[in-house]
Amino acid sequence: MPRLLIAQPQSLFDRSSGAAVSMRHLGCLLAGRGWEVRAVCTSASEDGRRAAPRPDDDLGGMRVQQITLPEGTARDWARHDGGRFEAAVMRALTQSQPDLLLTFGADPLEHRLCTAARKQGVPVLLALHNLAYRDLGLPLPPADGLLLPSQFMARAYADVPLPALVLPPPLWPADVQVTTHDPVFATFVNPEPEKGARLVARLAALRPNWPLLVVQGRAGAGRFAAAVRDVGGEPATLPQVHEVPGGVPVRELLAVTRVLLMPSRVAEAAGRLAAEAVANGIPTLVSARGGLPEMVEGCGTVIEGDPEDPATAAHWAQALDRLQDDAGWGAAAALARQASTRWQAAVQAAAADDALRRWLNAAAGRVRPGPAPASAVGAATPDRPAP
């Protein structure tokens, strides 16, 4: 039975972070395949609040130790309370004697943890969930390989002299599986400019007959109204727009989603929300940025063009028109259902299990106790609150 230790400097229960969710879901899937999975994390979250498990969280047999941070330190936890997290991970390395350490981040603390693991002969797999490591250009911690969520990310980090393992975003059914589907809304999550908020604002004006569900996410209240005003509109003229706070379980959002909108302006590492929609047979429209096209390959609609260009919004409106009637929507949903098989838990768990076992076997011939040279592409805090 392989033993995996996940050391995550933010909470595994931070629902506002795709990186955190992916790490938790991967641990759950592997635990279901017989791995002994232990995780150490803090309660830090991307929105600055303390994250915590919910009473109904199903971890699939994964054991999690969460270091609860004092109130008001969630965004500055490393300075206030980093020692407790570091000590907990060091104890776990000694007590559980893992076959593999999985972590992310590139602060001095993570460098020390990865170095300590390698001194014990434990290979380190560094999960990269965005491009900030490359763009900020700081050294990654000593590691033996990279875990990446898309082929796009593999190309982006091709210059890192470490073997790369590509596993699409893992999906844990307890969190993402829709049991009853009432397809009503075009759904847009996290209305920030880089996520395409202004395009969706234009789209709402172009297609007032489409009920639009806007999920505030990290952006907070008022951001979508600001986007509407940015493009010359007034929120009061868009009664079809329904806003809800962030933190709603994704399965509940998808349960009322007719089509998911992801018009990102930035290069997404993957786009796990698109994967979650496809896994539930929900038609999905995405921009041609980063790893998004991979998530909807063969089933979704990839729309070219700059999301800031008003002409691009017209193309999105036309794509929505094709999903307006039941026949068009039904055909698109059927394609998504066909593609959903690759996102099934059993398929993903078996693929991750096989890939990681093969990686461990290969790493056994490479890893030697002691530090590995750092790779100069890393960012200090790309996946968690900045210290």
Q: Which residue has the tokens 């943890």?
A: 113
Residue-level pLDDT at 161: 94
- 77 and 66 Cβ atoms separated by less than 8 Å: no
Torsion of CA 300, 305, 310, 315, to 10 degrees: -40
Query: What would the mean pLDDT of 249-264 be, rounded to a whole number?
Result: 97
Residue 386 has pLDDT above 50, yes or no: no
Q: For residue 78, what pLDDT is reported?
A: 66
DSSP β-ladder status, 301-303 and 284-287: parallel
Kindly tell me the sign of the dihedral angle through the C-alpha atoms of 100, 104, 108, 111: positive
What separation in angstroms does the CA of 324 have from each of 207, 252, 319, 378?
A: 11, 22, 9, 45
Which pairs from 88-92 meet CB under 8 Å and 24+ separation? 88/40, 89/5, 89/7, 89/40, 89/113, 90/116, 92/5, 92/7, 92/38, 92/40, 92/65
pLDDT of residue 183: 96
* Cα 259–Cα 45–Cα 249 angle in degrees, nearest 5: 35
Q: Does the pLDDT of residue 123 top 60, yes or no?
A: yes
pLDDT, residue 372, reads 47
Which residues contact residue 13 at a Cβ distance below 8 angstroms, ignoring those fewer than 6 apart? 20, 24, 51, 52, 53, 54, 57, 66
- Residue 227 token pair: 């986007």
pLDDT in tens, 143-195: 999 999 999 999 999 999 999 999 999 999 999 999 999 999 999 999 999 99
Mode of pairing for the β-strands spanning 376-378 and 138-139 = antiparallel
pLDDT band at 371 (very low <50, low <70, confident <90, very high): very low
pTM, full prediction: 0.91
pLDDT score of 174: 95
Q: How confident is the model at residue 34 (pLDDT cuts 50, 70, 90)?
A: very high
Q: How confident is the model at residue 80 (pLDDT cuts 50, 70, 90)?
A: low
How confident is residue 7, by pLDDT bands cut at 50, 70 and 90? Answer: very high
d(CA 2, CA 208): 54
d(CA 98, CA 313): 50
How far is it, in rounded angstroms, from Cα 309 to Cα 279?
A: 30
Report the b/e string of 160-186 with b at 16+ CB within 10 A: bebebbbbbbbbbbebbbbeeeebebb
CB atoms within 10 A of CB 80: 14
> Is residue 199 within 8 Å of residue 308, measured between CB atoms?
yes
Query: Which tens digit of pLDDT belongs to each residue from 11-33?
Result: 999 988 999 999 999 999 999 99
Average pLDDT over every residue of 230-242:
97
Q: How far is CA 150 from CA 98, 142, 166, 230, 269, in A?
A: 26, 22, 6, 33, 7
Residue 375: what pLDDT?
A: 56
3-state DSSP assignment of residue 328: helix
Confidence of residue 50 (pLDDT cuts 50, 70, 90): confident
First to last CA, the chain: 36
pLDDT above 80: residue 380: no
Which has the minimum average pLDDT: 133-142, 229-238, 313-322? 133-142
Q: What is the pLDDT of residue 264?
A: 98
Nearest to 304 by CA among 204, 185, 229, 199: 199
Q: What was the pLDDT predicted at 251?
A: 96
Q: Is the pLDDT of residue 387 over 60?
A: no
Residue 374 — pLDDT band, cuts 50, 70, 90?
A: low
